[in-house]
């Protein structure tokens, strides 16, 4: 069985002292072992990043941009290979894996514009003969810690902007699907990135804690579940680091009585069950405004899911693949089996569906009459389970969304522009869709939730990432006329 190792200073490193198992979720079999880095191995990766920093931050912007143009080309050229790696370790269907790659490429395209993005500002004559300008300089070594569910896109969310800004990086991908990050690191180097600028350390809490405590690490980007995001934020911030920690989600899709209910049902099915619900922007709560809307939507969703094809991600006929592990599949199923006891109605019970073999498959579930206070509503399930909450009117829908502890994404389905505009104004969530169920912003905007979906004050990728990965320096300049030289002990005033 092969051992997936680290990538440090351009070379493969790592021992098999401590390892984890990497499954093929479609068969349930262990296909690789992954090295779990020790403190010393993690520190070596940080040292490699620190050693590469002076030369990389001194590299001209045009040369840096060249790397991203070439990387984009390589990602397009090798997309099939990369998608196969994603599907093999994550389980999502190949078309979804390719979609993830194309969304990640948007971040590379954004980074290729770094010459424009890193422009500072200048004011002439702020005082007589005095000019001021600001520059954006790299923060230093950046640690990027990523979740299992987007093994290519989320590493690209972080690494593209961090590297474009002149930083060097230690990336710690999820130990559940670690191969894609190694592939990315090699692709970056093939595109011209010097060794040591992007290092990959495989591992678990040991590696993460070492990164959070390393003095050379100046900024931490994290994406994962809320409890871990909260603890990463606290530890990194206590160590004086800049930190953004994106957490879990429970995304509500509000359907108004005037909506096109067929379009809404199509959107709900795609957004709830795509990637087996293992998306931080998956719709997990359908908020139906009025019982008529709820009854119609429940019937339409149930009708649509009856023909969903669930199978291995490599089978072009599959629309949904397995879950990431057997333990996660069982945890997801427990929410469905427990829902009836909580007073909800299980309309479609995915736990009853049987599959051949030992893959981590689970059928899709639809649960009606769900209310806050039930586990099926309160917890992020992260699986193919869609809850329906019935509300009487628009105000109740907005209250429900605004009192959820999570606030990553939300959507409203309506044909009324006034309602849509009011929703945008009222709703307290980081990303909002109007007739768009998964409103993940394009690469030129930034991504991030509110409340327990993000700890820190910077959203990820896009313009906010340039701010996050740079430090601003302001320079005040005078080239005095020697004939006007004079001594003044007063505080400099510009008036």
Residues carrying an active site annotation: 280
Measured between alpha carbons, how far is 115 from 216 in angstroms, rounded to an integer?
26
> Using the rule CB under 6 A, is 148 a contact of ligand NAD?
yes
Total residues binding ligand NAD (CB under 6 A) = 27
Is 278 within 8 Å of 383 (Cβ atoms)? yes
> Using the rule CB under 6 A, is 439 a contact of ligand NAD?
no
Least distance between ligand NAD and beta carbon 353 (Å): 23
> Using the rule CB under 6 A, is 384 a contact of ligand NAD?
no
Residue (69 or 450) nearer to ligand NAD, CB: 450
Least distance between ligand NAD and beta carbon 280 (Å): 3
C-alpha 52 chain-centroid distance: 26
Q: Which tokens is 433 given?
A: 């869709």
Q: Residues 267-306: x/- map of binding to ligand NAD (CB under 6 A)?
A: -------------x--------------------------
Q: Which of 19, 244, 453, 465 binds ligand NAD (CB under 6 A)?
A: 453
Which range binds ligand NAD by CB under 6 A, 17-25, 147-155, 292-300, 469-477?
Answer: 147-155
SS3 144: strand
Least distance between ligand NAD and beta carbon 148 (Å): 4
Q: Which of 14, 91, 138, 147 binds ligand NAD (CB under 6 A)?
A: 147
Least distance between ligand NAD and beta carbon 24 (Å): 17
Q: Which tokens is 67 given?
A: 């790397």
Least distance between ligand NAD and beta carbon 235 (Å): 9
Measured between alpha carbons, how far is 285 from 256 in angstroms, rounded to an integer?
14
Please spell the DSSP secondary structure of 208-255, one letter per residue.
Answer: HHHHHH-TTEEEEEEES-HHHHHHHHHHHHHTT-EEEEE----EEEEE
Least distance between ligand NAD and beta carbon 54 (Å): 28
Measured between alpha carbons, how far is 228 from 248 in angstroms, rounded to an integer?
10
SS3 163: helix
Least distance between ligand NAD and beta carbon 131 (Å): 41
Which range binds ligand NAD by CB under 6 A, 35-43, 77-85, 167-175, 307-315?
Answer: 167-175
> Using the rule CB under 6 A, is 335 a contact of ligand NAD?
no
SS3 89: helix
Residues in region 68-127 near ligand NAD by CB under 6 A: none
Least distance between ligand NAD and beta carbon 168 (Å): 19
> Using the rule CB under 6 A, is 164 a contact of ligand NAD?
no
Residue (248 or 321) nearer to ligand NAD, CB: 248
Residue (87 or 146) nearer to ligand NAD, CB: 146
Is 45 within 8 Å of 201 (Cβ atoms)? yes
Residue (210 or 351) nearer to ligand NAD, CB: 210
> Using the rule CB under 6 A, is 382 a contact of ligand NAD?
yes
Residue (166 or 247) nearer to ligand NAD, CB: 247
Least distance between ligand NAD and beta carbon 232 (Å): 7
Measured between alpha carbons, how far is 144 from 11 in angstroms, rounded to an integer?
19
Residue (56 or 406) nearer to ligand NAD, CB: 406
> Using the rule CB under 6 A, is 380 a contact of ligand NAD?
yes
Q: Alpha-carbon dihedral of residues 312, 314, 316, 319, nearest 10 degrees?
A: 40
Number of helices (H), then strands (E), in the chain: 16, 23
Q: Where are the beta strands (DSSP E) in 372-484?
A: 385-391, 406-407, 409-413, 431-434, 450-451, 454-455, 470-478
Residue (153 or 268) nearer to ligand NAD, CB: 153
Least distance between ligand NAD and beta carbon 108 (Å): 18
> Using the rule CB under 6 A, is 244 a contact of ligand NAD?
no
C-alpha closest to that of 92 among 6, 158, 146, 152: 152
Residues in region 201-240 near ligand NAD by CB under 6 A: 204-205, 208, 223-225, 228
Q: By CB neighbour count within 10 A (0-12 exposed, 13-18 middle, 19+ buried), where does 125 fall?
A: exposed
Is 93 within 8 Å of 318 (Cβ atoms)? yes
Is 7 within 8 Å of 185 (Cβ atoms)? yes
Q: Which residue is nearest to ligand NAD (CB)?
A: 224
Q: Residues 168-207: x/- map of binding to ligand NAD (CB under 6 A)?
A: ----x-xx----------------------------xx--
User: 9 Cβ partners below 8 Å, 6+ apart?
Assistant: 48, 51, 52, 195, 196, 199
Q: Which of 26, 45, 139, 145 binds ligand NAD (CB under 6 A)?
A: 145
Q: At what angle do helices 261-273 and 291-305 cross, to 10 degrees?
A: 60
Which range binds ligand NAD by CB under 6 A, 51-59, 148-156, 297-305, 391-399?
Answer: 148-156
Q: What does the DSSP 8-state code read for residue 451?
A: E
Sign, Cα dihedral of 142, 279, 97, 270: negative
Interface residues with ligand NAD (CB under 6 A) are 145-150, 154, 172, 174-175, 204-205, 208, 223-225, 228, 246-249, 280, 380, 382, 408, 449, 453
């Amino acid at each position: 069985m092969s051992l997936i190792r680290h990538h440090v200073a351009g070379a493969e490193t790592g021992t098999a002292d401590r390892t984890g198992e990497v499954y093929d979720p479609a068969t349930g079999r262990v296909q690789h072992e992954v090295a779990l880095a020790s403190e010393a191995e993690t520190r070596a990766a940080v040292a490699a990043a620190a050693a590469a920093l002076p030369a990389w931050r001194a590299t001209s912007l045009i040369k840096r941009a060249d790397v991203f143009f070439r990387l984009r080309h390589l990602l397009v050229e090798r997309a099939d290979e990369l998608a196969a790696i994603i599907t093999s370790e994550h389980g999502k269907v190949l078309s979804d894996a390719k979609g993830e790659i194309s969304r990640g490429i948007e971040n590379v395209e954004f980074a290729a514009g770094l010459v424009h993005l890193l422009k500072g500002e200048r004011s002439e004559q702020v005082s007589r003969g005095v000019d001021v300008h600001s520059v954006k300089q790299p923060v230093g070594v950046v640690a990027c810690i990523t979740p299992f569910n987007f093994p290519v896109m989320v590493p690209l969310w972080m690494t593209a902007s961090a590297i474009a800004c002149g930083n060097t990086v230690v990336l710690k991908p999820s130990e559940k699907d670690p191969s894609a990050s190694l592939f990315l690191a090699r692709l970056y180097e093939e595109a011209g990135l010097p060794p040591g600028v992007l290092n990959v350390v495989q591992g678990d809490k040991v590696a993460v804690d070492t990164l959070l405590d390393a003095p050379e690490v100046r900024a931490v980007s994290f994406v994962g579940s809320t409890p871990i995001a909260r603890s990463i934020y606290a530890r990194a911030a206590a160590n004086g680091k800049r930190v953004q920690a994106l957490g879990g989600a429970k995304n509500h899709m509000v359907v108004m009585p005037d909506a096109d209910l067929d379009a809404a049902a199509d959107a709900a099915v795609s957004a709830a069950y795509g990637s087996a619900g293992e998306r931080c922007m998956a719709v997990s709560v359908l908020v139906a405004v009025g019982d008529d809307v709820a009854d119609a939507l429940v019937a339409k969703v149930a009708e649509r899911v009856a023909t969903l094809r669930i199978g291995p991600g490599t089978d072009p006929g599959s629309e949904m693949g397995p879950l990431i592990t057997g333990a996660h599949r069982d945890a997801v199923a427990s929410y469905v089996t427990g829902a009836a006891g909580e007073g909800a109605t299980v309309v479609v019970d995915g736990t009853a569906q049987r599959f051949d073999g030992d893959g981590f498959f689970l059928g899709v579930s639809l649960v009606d009459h769900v209310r806050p206070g039930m586990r099926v509503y309160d917890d992020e399930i992260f699986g193919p389970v869609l809850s329906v909450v019935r509300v009487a009117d628009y105000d109740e829908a907005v209250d429900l969304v605004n009192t959820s502890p999570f606030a990553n994404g939300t959507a409203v389905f309506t044909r009324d522009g006034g309602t849509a505009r009011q929703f945008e104004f009222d709703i307290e969530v980081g990303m909002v869709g109007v007739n768009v169920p998964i409103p993940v912003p394009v690469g030129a905007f930034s991504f991030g939730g509110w409340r327990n979906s993000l700890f820190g004050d910077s959203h990820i990728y896009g313009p906010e990432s340039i701010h996050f990965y740079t430090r601003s320096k302001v320079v005040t300049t005078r080239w005095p006329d020697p004939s006007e030289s004079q001594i003044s002990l007063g505080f400099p005033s510009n008036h």
